[in-house]
Structure 1
Amino acid sequence: MGLLRGIHYLGSFLLLAATVLFVISSISAPVVNRISMMTVYLGGNADRSPSVTFGTFGWCVQNANGVTNGCSRSMVGYNIFDILANVVDGNDDRLEEWAAATANGLTNVMVLHPVTAGLAFISFVLSLTSGMFGGILAMLATLFTFIVALVVVVCDFVLFAYVRDQVRDAESNNWTMWGSASWTALAGMILIFIAFIITFITCCAGRREKKRQSAVVKESHHDYGTPARRRRFWQRR
């Protein structure tokens, strides 16, 4: 049981680590400019070309002509291609086409980053509770957290992979770079999945161990609790 408990607490630690990773992805640009989902460079020079850093709740612009450098306010959902079209010269027809192909729906899904962080923390707290019911509840909470994390990570990579392709197709000098927030979200999802596997195994093993101990106790009561048979007078010496 000691080894089983240690493995269970390993799953608890993974849930806590996943909470921290999703918190990091949640405070990406515009909250922390250096943490991003993706950075788009509209030109070959990363130091001088206009660039847009996209985060969970907004974006930051640098070296743009005619647009104030800085970060947007925090918001749920934004139009990535409309932002890119405003950063550079509006006479570029290809950038105008980006604005029509809005991906606003997928940026709305990024609000699930802090939601996943909260669910992972709740799963962590539940995993610390003792008892069979607490173990089952922690396992179910971890499974639900993994499903939410999977949805948000898939949407993140689908969205920004599409952005990357559109940026490269519009101009050969344009290029993109995945941000640390994308990788922390991916790592957090993997940790939650591993934590679910651990909680599932320890929960099943715990139930089996409890049934085995109950069977041993019943058998011991049956062996030692039965009164001795009285001997007949002819059986006595």
Structure 2
Amino acid sequence: MGFGRFVHHIGTFLLFVSFVLLIVVDITAPVVNNLSMMKVDLGRNSASADQVTFGTFGYCLRGVGGDSDECTHAKIGYDPAGLMERLDGSDFSDASGDTAKGLTRVMVLHPVATGLCFIAFLLCIFTGIVGAFLASMVSLLAFVVTLVAMICDFVTFSIIKHDVNKNGVSTAKWGPGIWLILVSAIFTLFGAGIVFVTCCCARKKDRTERQKEHWNETTATRNRRRFW
């Protein structure tokens, strides 16, 4: 195995890891109750639940009635600010509440980025020049989509986190999902860069070999002419 092929496999591996991480982000609450983008520990005086876990397509109220969970149906877009206003009286302005609600719709980009990473990974398996070039382009697109989704995630939950903690009744913390999408964006960027560089190197090597073969054939032809 050549060094270029080894480096190409590193890029392929990074894209695969990014794909797996994005799957985990996709199945945050309400799919997996305790897996969250952000979680809020409600105050001791809360009679409704012990904790709220916010995810990609909804949220879960954990510890309802002591030991049960109640989750929304998975859907595109929800109202985290309105929920916290009802649960602990957090005070959100109309602008911040509407912004957070609107940005939750952008989370539909999570599965889009997941699909793009998977396509890029499959293209990387075909290590030809065309496959590697397409893989680098698709993985770059996956990075852009992941980056946009990540920025919207941080803006959305920063609004909720700031106002909830400011209220002082509950405590909002980042969940593992928010960090997983950050790592995924980094891995996708590096994977795209590595695959693109190895594609360019392979193309240059292929061109050099063809020129060398042409030169050898030309030299052999000249030698035969001189011999005869």
- Give the structure-1-normalised TM-score: 0.85
Distance 2:219 2:15 in 1: 45
**1:8 corresponds to 2:8:** yes
Match of 2:216 in 1: 220
Match of 1:189 in 2: 185
List runs of 5+ in structure 1 lacking aligned partners. Answer: 232-237
**In structure 2, what residue type is equivalent to 1:104?**
K
Quick one: percent identity of the two aligned structures? 35
- Asked whether the equivalents of residues 64 and 70 of structure 2 are also in contact (C-alpha less than 8 Å), the reply is no
Match of 1:235 in 2: none
Match of 2:135 in 1: 138
Q: How big is each residue's C-alpha offset from its partner over 1:133-165, in whole Å with a ceiling of 9 and x where there is no partner?
A: 111111111111111011111111111112111
Aligned 1:71-150 pairs, distance under 5 A? 71-88=71-88, 92=89, 95=91, 97=93, 101-102=97-98, 103-150=100-147
What is the Cα deviation at residue 185 of structure 1? 1.1
SS in 2 for 1:101: helix
Distance 2:63 2:146 in 1: 34
What is the Cα deviation at residue 50 of structure 1? 4.2
Change in 2 beyond 3 A, CA 1:99/1:155:
closer
Distance 1:40 1:99 in 2: 21
Which stretches of structure 1, 4 residues or longer, exceed 2 Å deviation after superposition? Answer: 41-46, 48-51, 62-65, 94-102, 227-231
Match of 1:21 in 2: 21
Distance 1:97 1:216 in 2: 70
Distance 1:84 1:61 in 2: 11
Taking only aligned residues, the RMSD between alpha carbons, in angstroms, comes to 2.6
Aligned length, in residue pairs: 223
Change in 2 beyond 3 A, CA 1:17/1:230:
closer
Distance 2:32 2:69 in 1: 15
What is the Cα deviation at residue 55 of structure 1? 0.5
What is the Cα deviation at residue 191 of structure 1? 0.8
**In structure 2, what residue type is equivalent to 1:59?**
Y
Match of 2:170 in 1: 174
Change in 2 beyond 3 A, CA 1:196/1:100:
closer
